[in-house]
Amino acid sequence: MNDTKERILSIALYFFLKKPYTEVTMNEILKASGLSKGGFYHHFESKEVLYHEVIDRFVLKAFLTEFGHFIENPYNLSFIEFVPRYIKESLAHLMEFADTKLGEYKLDLSEVNIYIVMFDMMKHYKGFEQVIGELHQKETTLFKILIDKAKENGEIRKDIDSLSLAKHVHTSMHGISVLALLEGEMSAIEDIIKEHFDNLYQLIKV
């Protein structure tokens, strides 16, 4: 991929993470990239095509990277420590991608609301249902592996069904995050999720 297209993608990621898709304008992307309309359309047919590639290349890749990292090289973390770390690390991958060749355009983690990004994907990303279904399945598998490991290590009770707990963890993680979004508390999301899983842990620990 050439440097110009790479820069357009990075700048577009900055804007798509910072605000809703409908509020991102071609003019601000052109201004930030220093390109003419002709220069932009040489690489992307439309804003929609650009958005789709940004989601594929960065947003979905961030979560799949974190999933793959855990499968290949599991963190030496307890069950109770893992979920907040998983969310933090996934967002960190996004921030790392967003910093690529952005120059003066830098994002702070507090500016990124991944659930607004997800809600945008429901409306503007073709094939969202299949992609999110596969991602959720991977996350549930990841949590089951983590739970099986915690049972083997004597951290949580062995009589608990691993898959059922994995589904509960997955649903709770996203549910808490959406509630935090609705209540305007996304800046404290890691602490909120940690508190919830501290409470859950009291019910399942050995």
Number of compact structural domains in the chain: 1
Does the pLDDT at position 167 exceed 90? yes
Residue 186: predicted pLDDT: 61
Residue 101: predicted pLDDT: 54
Which residues span the domain enclosing 70? 3-204
Which CATH number do you get for residue 111? 1.10.357.10
Write out pLDDT tens, residues 68-126: 777 776 667 788 888 777 777 776 766 676 665 565 667 766 677 777 888 899 999 98
Write out pLDDT tens, residues 4-48: 898 899 889 889 988 899 999 999 999 988 889 998 999 999 999
Strand partners, 205: 156
Please name which of 178, 167, 149 lies closest in space to residue 80, comparing C-alpha atoms.
149
Residues with Cβ within 8 Å of residue 161, at least 6 apart in sequence:
none
Does the pLDDT at position 56 exceed 70? yes
CA-CA distance, 200 to 194, in Å (whole number)?
Answer: 10
Does the pLDDT at position 190 exceed 90? no
